[in-house]
Structure 1
């Protein structure tokens, strides 16, 4: 039986425990993954763990190890598992089913499907650039909780840079990639971060995100015009077909009426899209960009948010502007001092601002 395809697998676990199971497999590490189990019984522990799959002609076996409860057990007499075995008995390209048994005697069945949609699904409206400026500022006045994100193509779904590299295992990222990044900065005589401190961990994530390192963060801004700048900034004359997209997201309404909780740790097994306002200390780009982030362990963000709109109402909407407006947009924003010189402090930003002002490539 073949190994599972890379990607994010989501499903249900039944038997002595009932809950949600999430399996994240990175494209560059087939046969291995990060496993999350969220128990629907709030009195019982939820876990994250590592899993290694072994394929034989007859079966596909997942060896689950290093099972760690996400929080200290609530019940003092709870017998915690340390390892488990998954046995896949039905394997289709995007569906798997099988049985599971843990070393504490818990057992049952599971089913998962591969969730890897590449299509945006947020409600969207096309608007002219000249109308967008007044409209966006008025929307922000009416609802100060709105935050904004610009993307250079309306066909691109909301997806973090980490997930766009076909990586899915957040635990591997936090325990390996972040450690290597921190060690590299320290070796160059730059700031060193205490990755066991949540605030330091978040600050390094923010710095990495603003300098192009793949992270499970999405950039947002409190300013719709800053978001518009980043939607248009890299377009060239030849990029005249299609539209850029700017997202309007009510993050406070989302956390109160949509998702209903804030994730407090990167290893929380629940699907989450959580807003983070991270200290700008050591990151000179954060303040001018009016920066904030959303952290997520979800590949398909748009379907996650819009699925909650059936109950909580609208949380997010997108506005599309023709790419042919790019030259006017960049010059208009420059007159408002929304340019690379201000948003990207340093020589690179200064030269980029002059280039955008004087040349249209």
Structure 2
């Protein structure tokens, strides 16, 4: 049951869109459901749950709370009545859930007697990219990026063609409310003894800088790292492989560079600042480089998101054909030795991107091994 699920729901009075984010716990499942109905008929409805077992099917109770459908801020039930006069809202659901690898089936009865149901689909984030290979030579790639508008686009290098996914969602977790109220305080307590700066998590800028610092030191976060430099992205695409692997690679084996039109996206879609925002979002940020020496040389920019399948979400926003936000370029793994050598001559090395002993040793490992 763990993971992120989407689909339509219906009850006797309306239909809408339902998202459920579920984590696996030691004894059961915990998570949050967010239901979006017609704004003229209902606020956004949010329910949290924590089951006592992992049996399939399973029954559990879900207390409900309202949120403003425009701002995403939580409301009191007393404030809902004047907005929707004459409408009676349920405060609790008794839910029966069953699932398989692809679908989550929900049926419920509310405390006011209404019944509802939904069949939700699991995200396909763990599968191969929907983007077909777009082979390009290193010289063609350099000519292409040389003609781009500076700092409009950001780039990400990957050693494979897996879909874009944050390190947090790759773990199988999905409930960012639990992450915000359990993980972050514990992480802050542990890291504060190791950082020169004490991060004030009440300040959104410092909160973002703290999250990005944790990301760069291996803790799973709902951030996806990008760079304003296509050459830094190229380094990361090739970083995890070796020249010996390149020498025996098949012609079809390629690394992938993603190019994202950050400016066009930000012109169209509003950013969210809350880690556990209710609405689905992809928000681009340049965080403060507090205690994080890697950010500046990597020309780093990050996407904050509550979406498991980032690629699918972006593609659905491109369906009208008026904007193209995301493109892919696939470089041959066989060209790794010459490309890494050229990147080194540009100053793009592990030593420059990872200041400190680790980066220096990695750079010399690349040179001598």
- Judge same fold: TM > 0.5, yes or no: yes
Q: Secondary structure at the match of 1:214?
A: coil
Structure 1 range deviating more: 335-344 or 230-239: 230-239
Residue equivalent to 2:85: none
Partner of 1:359: 368
SS, match of residue 150 in structure 1: strand
Which residue does 1:152 correspond to in 2? 159
**Residues 222 and 349 (structure 1), Cα distance of their counterparts in 2 relative to 1, 3 Å cut:** same
CA deviation string 1:192-234 (max 9, x = no partner): 3233332222111110111121111100111111111111122
Q: Alpha-carbon deviations, 1:74-128, whole Å to 9, x = none? A: 9974159795224237655422333345557776433312223412013541112
Whole-Å Cα distance in 2 between the matches of residues 245 and 57 of structure 1? 40
RMSD, matched Cα:
2.9
Residue pair 2:106, 2:119 contacting (<8 A) in 1 also: yes
Other structure's SS at 2:319 match: helix
**Distance in 2, Cα, partners of 1:209 & 1:56:** 31
Tell me if 1:332 matches 2:342: yes
Q: Structure 1 residues 355 and 77, CA, compared in 2 at 3 Å: closer, same or farther?
A: closer
Equivalent in 353, 357, 361 of residue 343 of structure 1: 353
Q: Structure 1 17/279 Cα, relative in aligned 2: closer, same or farther at 3 Å?
A: farther
Which of the residues 199, 209, 213 maps onto 1:193?
Answer: 199
Q: 1:48 to 1:345 in 2, by over 3 A?
A: farther
Corresponding residue of 1:37: 35
Deviation per CA, 1:218-258: give whole Å up to 9, x if none: 0011111111111112211343231110001102212334x
- Matches of 1:83 and 1:119, distance apart in 2: 41
With over 3 angstroms needed to count, the CA separation of the structure-2 counterparts of 1:233 and 1:77, relative to structure 1, is closer
TM-score, length basis structure 2: 0.84
CA distance in 1, matches of 2:175, 2:54: 24
1:46/1:71 contact within 8 Å kept: no
Instruction: Compare 264-273 and 200-209 and name the one that shifted more.
Output: 264-273
Are residues 1:6 and 2:2 paired?
Answer: yes
Q: Secondary structure at the match of 2:296?
A: coil
**3-state SS of paired residue (2:308):** coil
Alignment match, 1:110? 118
Separation in structure 2 between the aligned mates of residue 36 and residue 162 of structure 1, nearest angstrom:
20
**Which moved further from structure 2: 193-202 or 222-231?**
193-202
Higher mean C-alpha displacement, 322-331 vs 104-113: 104-113
| Residues in 1 aligned to 2:55 and 2:23: alpha-carbon distance in whole angstroms | 23
In structure 2, do the counterparts of structure 1 residues 238 and 354 end up closer, same or farther at CA, with 3 Å as the change threshold? closer
Q: Distance in 1 between matches of 2:153 and 2:258?
A: 10
For structure 1, which segment, 86-95 or 155-164, has the greater mean C-alpha deviation from structure 2 after superposition?
Answer: 86-95
The correspondence for 1:292, drawn from 280, 283, 301, is 301
Alignment match, 1:179: 185
Aligned to 1:266, what secondary structure does the other structure show?
coil
